[in-house]
Structure 1
Amino acid sequence: MVPPRLTLVSDNTRDKKDAAAGDDAAAASDGALPAALSDPEDVVTPLSPYAAREKLRRLEAILFAASEPLDAKALARGLDAGDDVNALLLELQSEYRERGVNLLRVAGRWQFRTADDLSYLLEREQKDERKLSKAALETLAIVAYHQPVTRAEIEDIRGVSTSPGTLDVLMETGWIRPRGRRRAPGRPLTYGTTDDFLVHFGMDSIKDLPGLADLKSSGLLDANLPPGFTVPSPTDVAALMPDELPLTDDGDEEEQEELALDAEDEPEEPGDAARPPTPEGES
């Protein structure tokens, strides 16, 4: 006698109940309540993730297409009124921190740049049109750390005379500029660095220049330095200093005032004030 064959049938009803119970538990864990049980006054509309992502996408597109660094004011034109552009930029910078392209702030502006550890992938050999001489590099360093500085002051620090062509080369690169004129005899020009200098060397401000400890650790300074040797602490000096005159002011007004004061102090010759004018034709 052949035993009867048994067939197993799944209980779909139980599976459906279990699935419905799981959905309810998930909704409860997310804090979702049925519309009938919720209080309209306590409901707070959360910020749409799509809206936040859209703002980051706008900044990303603008920065990617820009041929030069952009400041926060220029970037804010692509956002809505009231958006915190600085917070969005920091968030975008965080997202790109571990990528092949990083978002950096240089000279107070923002720009996408290749990650430092991947720069070797983009290296290419090309003919150098002009190579800075040792004198030009020394002059550039002096201007960067001692600005505002005159040519005579540069020569005093270097200990040798500086060719006018050296300063011309640095100004052609766009790394230094005439700032003003020193309030001193001859009113010599004062020089300082430019924003192009900061952009080229990847610095946000002139304060990011390496200090004494940084220069020692990188091997750019001898370990046995003379006593009292220090490295100047550069500061942001965009505005003219008290001992500087504007480039457009050659000091003519001050000279006229000095001459007028000297004329007032000079004593008059006796009889000049009482002498009447001589009629024409009389001696």
Structure 2
Amino acid sequence: MITLDPLSVLEGLLFVAGSEGLSDKQIATVLEMDEQDVYDLCMKLEEKQQREGRSFLIMRIASVWQLNTLATLTPYLRKLALVPAPAPLSQAALETLAIIAYRQPITRSDIEEIRGVKAEKAIATLVARGLIKEAGRAEGPGRPFLFETTSEFLDYFGLQNSNDLPPIGEFQKLVRSDE
């Protein structure tokens, strides 16, 4: 049986299901309840959402339950749809980011030596996105900048700290198995 609040669990299930929604049978199976009780639970969730003035409501559409945003939010949702999403990182930027993550702090010339190609553009992209930052200067000729990852990098990849990075050996095994 459910140990959490059934309304919270139902709401979470419908959120994850997205526009596909969930049938009475699917909800009943996951919540370990009779299908006949699903309707009552969904109605309780609808009442709770209306009472709390939530931005979305549960609705039954074509025999499935879905979460839908309130119609009054339409102007804002249209504006959001027009906001351009950031382009995904290029292969070069991802490679550069991986090198920095595992070898930080590291200079641009060390990155270029590892990659075998120039890294200026990739570094500029990563700095602009806030994924890396300058971390002082290296000792030696010209005192080049050192780069390291940022807290944005950790957030982007869902890490608590750089120690949470998977061991590099795991990647080497994956690459060998793909060959």
Normalized against structure 1, the TM-score is what? Answer: 0.34
Distance 1:135 1:120, change over 3 A: farther
What letter matches 1:167 in structure 2? I
Question: Match of 1:223, as an amino acid?
Answer: S
What residue number does 1:181 align with?
137
Q: 2:99 aligns with which of 139, 142, 155?
A: 142
Task: Give ranges in structure 2 of 5+ residues lacking alignment.
Answer: 20-80
Counterpart amino acid of residue 143 in structure 1? I
In the alignment, structure 1 residue 157 sits paired with structure 2 residue 124: no
Query: Deviation of residue 119 (structure 1)?
Result: 5.5
Matches within 5 A, 1:163-242: 164-215=120-171, 219=174, 221-223=175-177
**Aligned residue identity for 1:160:** V
Q: 2:118 & 2:129 partners in 1: Cα distance?
A: 21
| SS state at 1:174 partner | coil
Is the helix fraction higher in 1 or 2? 2
Offset at residue 132 of structure 1 (A): 1.6
In the TM superposition, what whole-angstrom CA distance separates every residue of 1:168-224 from its partner, at most 9, and x where no partner exists? 11011111000000011100000000111111211111011111454367x4x2238
CA shift in 2, pair 1:129/1:197, >3 Å = closer
| Secondary structure at 1:223 match in 2 | helix
Matches within 5 A, 1:117-136: 121=18, 127-136=84-93
AA of the residue aligned to 2:130:
G
Max Rg structure: 1
Percent sequence identity over matched residues? 37
Residues 223 and 119 (structure 1), Cα distance of their counterparts in 2 relative to 1, 3 Å cut: same
Instruction: Find the aligned partners of 1:148 and 1:189 in 2 and give their Cα distance.
Output: 9
Counterpart position of 2:33: none
Higher relative contact order (CA 8 A, sep 6+): 2
Shift of 1:120: 6.5
Shift of 1:121: 3.6
Unaligned runs of 5+ in 1: 1-94, 101-113, 226-283
